[in-house]
Amino acid sequence: MTSGGGVSGGTIADAIAMLAAATDILLTDSLGGFSDTEFVVQMQEFEAAKRRLAAVDHRFVGEVRTRNLPEKAGWKNHTGKYLQQVLRLGHAEAGARVNAAEQLGQRQVMGQVLEPNLAWVAAAQEQGLVSSDHARRIVQVVRRIPAITDPELVGKAEMELAHFATRSTPDDLPKLGDRILGFLDPDGRLVSEEDRQARRGLIVGKQGVDGMSSISGQLTPAARALLDPIFADLAQPGMCNPDDPQSPQRAKGIHPDTLHAAARRDTRSTAQRQHDALVALLRPEMGPANLGQHRGLPVSTIITMSLAEVEAAAGVATTASGGTVPMEEALRLAEQSRPFLTIFDHAGRPLHFGHAKAHRLAHADQRRALIATERGCTRPGCDAPATLCAVHHVTEWAKGGPTDIENLTLACDSCHSLIGEGPDKWKTVVMPPESEHAGRIGWIAPASIDPSQTPQVNDRHHAGELKAASLSTLRKRRTRPAVRCGLRP
């Protein structure tokens, strides 16, 4: 993907006229003259060009302020209102442009031009590598950093966010932000445990005339971590469906085909499934002790953390359902748990963990190791947590692929169905030693999505930990990233 060249020897007016002429061509010329591969490339080029225009917008907003145009129009210190009037923008859009320009546009202080507040993000946007949505999410993360944080750490955090944004979607950034904030605020200056406990609560409202009751509240990270695996089991499609007499009420002893058939009949929303799961859990004959297994493991809370995080008692631990728990609280949960220690190589992959005899299905300890290292579905862009994933053979079992940890990965049911032979199917590979992600599982998209057929990895689930770990080195913490503990309260 390239960003295109500049306009030499022209003025701003010339460039705007050329942009208008180019837009006329884009609106009228046929898109049907390209092959599929060429079309994808052109679409990517157009996206990069659009992203660069956002950086141009910051220049215009900055010039509006430099010329004091809002004040001249009678709107003192209201750049947003001025833009609403002149450009016919809505209130939210005008405010977003002003906020973006404040963080990503050049600044003038006492006649001196300074670089943007978020210079790394601004540079990536000028090159067309990140979108306005990427930038907005990064601004939201940076604003949550405590004001007393070392400026060097803040700059490092912004650099990591900008770099990550160039190869991920905006939806991936909040989780990375949580990880970074966990390292920048290990002592709870931003949100302390006392603050969380003070806000905890659950309110069941009065019944209405229709008999229904509203529910609201705030769950602590520990409460969420304990509730998530129950929903992952009892609220999965097909389970505990009051409208289906044949719906299983618990996974224990249920044949997978029975559950799959019930799932195909299930038309409930996620909210409805979670409601019905809670009803099932509260029945006297049920309870957590009778939940059985979910995808080969007992229904329980699984928490993973690095040894460096345990030693520092800082950062956040990750649950198999994709949530986070402050390290201090995770350690308290772990006091009553049975820990599992898994050793990882320099690439973050578990060391050999195989079957003594040929066996197609992964055993429970292999699944725990995959949960600890991969956290969720490994297809790039997928946010399905480990609780919603199956174990996939990178080299198929039918083609001689062993059920060894080096040949296993996690894939949610939807993404798992995308893998196969043929031009429209995805493929999985182990990234080679010379790769930046050596040893991790790469996915190759069909040529209709990625004409280059370049393997990509999914950073969504644990990139935050890897990126935030680099911040901890600035705090002179001792790290040992090759070891993680998997804790099951």
The predicted structure's pLDDT at residue 282: 76
Burial class (CB in 10 A: 0-12, 13-18, 19+), 474: middle
Question: Which domain does 440 fall in, by range?
Answer: 303-488
Question: Domain check: are 82 and 225 in the same one?
Answer: no
Q: Is residue 173 part of a domain?
A: no
C-alpha span between 418 and 383 (Å, rounded): 16
The model's pLDDT over 362-386, given as tens digits with 9 standing for 90+, comes to: 566 677 778 777 878 989 888 888 8
Asked which of 278, 298, 318 is the last residue of a domain, the reply is 298
**Count of structural domains within the chain:** 3
Question: In which region does residue 422 sit, left (phi positive, over 0), alpha (psi from -120 to 50) or beta (all else)?
Answer: left
Burial class (CB in 10 A: 0-12, 13-18, 19+), 164: buried
Q: Is residue 390 part of a domain?
A: yes
Asked which of 298, 326, 349 is the last residue of a domain, the reply is 298
The predicted structure's pLDDT at residue 139: 92
Question: Domain check: are 136 and 225 in the same one?
Answer: no
The model's pLDDT over 58-68, given as tens digits with 9 standing for 90+, comes to: 999 999 988 88
Q: Is residue 246 part of a domain?
A: yes
In the three-class reduction of DSSP (H, G, I as helix; E, B as strand; rest coil), residue 335 is classed as coil
C-alpha span between 115 and 310 (Å, rounded): 39
Question: Domain check: are 469 and 321 in the same one?
Answer: yes
Look up tokens 């001689």; give the residue.
Answer: 400
Question: Domain check: are 287 and 371 in the same one?
Answer: no
Question: Domain check: are 317 and 449 in the same one?
Answer: yes
The predicted structure's pLDDT at residue 297: 46
Q: Is residue 3 a contact partner of residue 48, using CB atoms and an 8 Å limit?
A: yes
The predicted structure's pLDDT at residue 481: 35
pTM, rounded to two decimals? 0.58
Q: How many CB atoms lie within 10 A of CB 346?
A: 9
Q: How far apart are the first and last CA of the chain?
A: 47
Question: Domain check: are 381 and 246 in the same one?
Answer: no
Question: Domain check: are 250 and 334 in the same one?
Answer: no
Q: How many CA atoms lie within 13 A of 443 on its CB side?
A: 23
C-alpha span between 165 and 103 (Å, rounded): 16
Spans in the chain with pLDDT lower than 70: 1-9, 185-193, 195, 207, 250-253, 284-365, 397-398, 462-489
Q: Is residue 424 part of a domain?
A: yes
Phi, psi values for residue 50, rounded to 5°: -60, -40
The pair of structure tokens assigned to 422 is 């043929």
Q: Is residue 133 part of a domain?
A: yes
Q: Is residue 252 a contact partner of residue 258, using CB atoms and an 8 Å limit?
A: no
SS3 content of the chain, % helix, strand, coil (to 5): 45, 15, 40
Question: Domain check: are 124 and 231 in the same one?
Answer: no
Q: Is residue 53 part of a domain?
A: yes
Q: In three state form, how does the secondary structure of 248-266 look?
A: CCCCCCCCHHHHHHHHHHC
C-alpha span between 213 and 432 (Å, rounded): 55
C-alpha span between 163 and 157 (Å, rounded): 10
Asked which of 114, 141, 168 is the last residue of a domain, the reply is 141
C-alpha span between 138 and 158 (Å, rounded): 8
User: What are the beta bridge partners of residue 391?
Assistant: 410
Question: Domain check: are 327 and 281 in the same one?
Answer: no
Question: Domain check: are 291 and 399 in the same one?
Answer: no
Sign of CA dihedral 330, 334, 338, 341: positive
Q: Is residue 169 part of a domain?
A: no
Q: Is residue 481 part of a domain?
A: yes
Question: Domain check: are 233 and 368 in the same one?
Answer: no
Question: Domain check: are 230 and 370 in the same one?
Answer: no
